[in-house]
Amino acid sequence: MNMMKTALLGTAMAVLSGTSALAAGHGCDVTDGRINIIGNEFPAIQSVAAAALACANGIEAESNLTADHQTLNVAGMTGNPAEYTSAIIANSSIVALINEDVIRPLDDLVAAYGQDIPARQLITIDGQVMAVAFMANAQHLVYRKDVLEQIGMDVPTSYEEVLAAAEKIRAEGIMENPVGGAYAAGWNLAEEFVNMYLGTGGAFFEPGTANVSINNAQGVEALEMMKALTAYMNPDYLTHDSNATSAEWEAGNVALMNMWGSRTGVLMDEEGAAMEVYSNTVAGGPLTVGDSGVAASTLWWDGWTVAKNISDAEAEATFQALAHATSPALLNDETMSQAVWLMDGFQAQPVNEGVLATVAAGANPYPMLPFMGLLHSALGDNLADYLQGNESAEQALADVEAAYTAAAKEQGYLQ
């Protein structure tokens, strides 16, 4: 019954905070135009969308928050007038909207309604503001304090130290597979490679072109480190996405893992795990690999855009509502721990330390290149063969390059 009570309490809180936000006003009262937001459905985005829709006063205001937002957003913004007046996206997915030319530059709107938005929240491409970011995310080490104390080792700062600690945990019989990671074939595995490869100091493309170049010493180094880590992972690692990896963590089977900052909150709360597990879960900093000194992680932001094919009144309404929804007015006790917010007034919570440490370590942002998505897909499809021992690292990387090249030709990036 406890759960029911918390659920009810949560609803009541949301209603209360909703009304207080309305009452406080902050010039958020949109009476003309239309708002329709499409985006992913995790809690931070739910809060932003709810706050934006609360600004609507007598106008049409809707949101469609779904895991399929990427399939719908381009189609839903291509028509004229567009179904959606705004898409909430990340730095990897804004590229598709820019490529299809369905979002508008925001400079005039920023000048008219967004002077309070700090410069760090504005995403500018070639001098034009294309999106407003509101939260940051990154992967970083998550570790079990008690297990590290038990083996008497410091918190690892590099993957080499992770391997040493894992070996010791296994040797002392504490855990059979102490390392975790979202290594599920597909998007997750590719993301881990992107992190690791950037950590070795590698570059994905020949500068200024769409020619891929990952079949090199850094590529092999990254893959070999990944394979070395998998030796300490659950044998099913190729099916473990972030959800499954988190579940492994909560079951107490894992002591060290590279995990998304946005998920650490769930790991550190009291639900779903034994006390010994959640109370000893700590968010560490990003890891390094080899001696390049670059963090093996990527920085991500989530932000909102405004559609191109809508009337100016609709664009103004959408901009005002979302600018308000991603202003300090959003922050309260409930929303504070949902994300690493980029707004002024954000106070870091213990769960956010990992992301902040990754930003401080100067990790690379995830590359915002028009053809990065093609490479990401190619990586996700071809690396599992190497990790399973079916082929050499060089062969796997060559397969990735060939698959990417064929796709990039089809998309017109290569001739």
Partner 1 sequence: MKHSTFFWFVLPSAVLMLLFIALPIVSVVTQSMYAAHEQVVVTVENCGPFGCTETTAVDQEATQALKEAEPLGRYVGTGIYTDRNHLALNEVTAAWFNADGLPDFGSSLMNLPFYRALAFTLTYTFIVTPLTIIVGFFIALAVNTVAGWLKGPTIFLSLLPMVVTPIVGGLILFWMVDARGVLGGALQWLANDPTLSVKASTGLTWIMLMIYGVWHSAPFAFVVYYAGLQTVNQDTIEAALIDGASRWERIRYVVIPHLFPLTTFVALIQLMDNFRVFEPLVSFQAQAHAQSLSYFIFNDLGGETRLLSSAAATSVLTIIGVAILLSPVLIRTYRDFTPRT
Partner 2 sequence: MSSKATSRPLPVMVIATVFLLVWLVIAAFPFLWTTWGSFKVEGDFFSKADWLNAILGPLTTAETGGSLTGAGYYGAWIQEEFWRAAMNTAIVCVCVVSISLTCGTLGGYALARSGFRYAFWFLFFALIFRAMPPITLVSGYLLPFFEWNLWGHLSTTIIVLVAINQPFTLWMLHSFFKNIPADLDESAMVDGCTRFQAFRHVIIPVMWPGVITTGLFSFLLAYNDFAVTTLLLTKENQTMVPKIVSFLGTTQTKGNVMFAVAAAVSITAPLFVMIMFFQRQIVSGLTAGAVKG
Contacting positions for partner 2 (CB under 8 A): 1-4, 7, 11, 40-43, 62-68, 71-72, 75-76, 78-79, 82-83, 243, 247-248, 250-253, 262-263, 266, 269, 271-273
Beta bridge partners of 87: 38
Q: Using the rule CB under 8 A, which residue among 117, 133, 196, 393 binds partner 1?
A: 133
Q: Measure the CA–CA gap between 328 and 320, rounded to whole angstroms.
A: 14
Of 8 and 112, nearer to partner 2 (C-beta) is: 8
80 near partner 1, rule: CB under 8 A: no
> Which of these, 176, 341, 173, lies nearest to 251 by C-alpha position?
176
Q: Measure the CA–CA gap between 236 and 72, rounded to whole angstroms.
A: 32
**What is the pattern of x (binds partner 1, CB under 8 A) and - over residues 202-231?**
------xxx---------------------
- Give the ranges where 43-182 is alpha helix by DSSP (H): 43-53, 69-78, 94-99, 107-113, 145-151, 159-171
Please give the size of the binding site for partner 1, defined by CB under 8 A: 66
Q: Measure the CA–CA gap between 125 and 24, rounded to whole angstroms.
A: 34
Q: Using the rule CB under 8 A, which residue among 56, 106, 282, 403 binds partner 1?
A: 403
Of 234 and 405, nearer to partner 2 (C-beta) is: 234
26 near partner 1, rule: CB under 8 A: no
Q: Using the rule CB under 8 A, which residue among 26, 57, 60, 101 binds partner 1?
A: 101
Of 133 and 214, nearer to partner 1 (C-beta) is: 133
Q: How far is the CB of 6 from partner 2 (least distance, A)?
A: 9
Do 191 and 182 contact (CB within 8 A), yes or no?
yes
157 near partner 1, rule: CB under 8 A: no
Instruction: List binders of partner 1 among 295-354 (CB under 8 A).
Output: 299, 301, 342
Specify the DSSP class assigned to residue 288: B
Q: Measure the CA–CA gap between 136 and 353, rounded to whole angstroms.
A: 12
Cα 75 to Cα 290, 374, 400: the distances in Å are 43, 19, 29
| Angle CA 287–288–292, to nearest 5 | 165
Do 179 and 144 contact (CB within 8 A), yes or no?
no
Tell me which residues touch partner 1 (CB under 8 A): 70-71, 74, 91-93, 95-96, 98-99, 101, 120-127, 133, 136, 184-186, 208-210, 234-236, 238-239, 241, 299, 301, 342, 359, 365, 367-374, 376-377, 381, 384-385, 388, 391, 395, 399, 402-403, 405-407, 409-413, 415
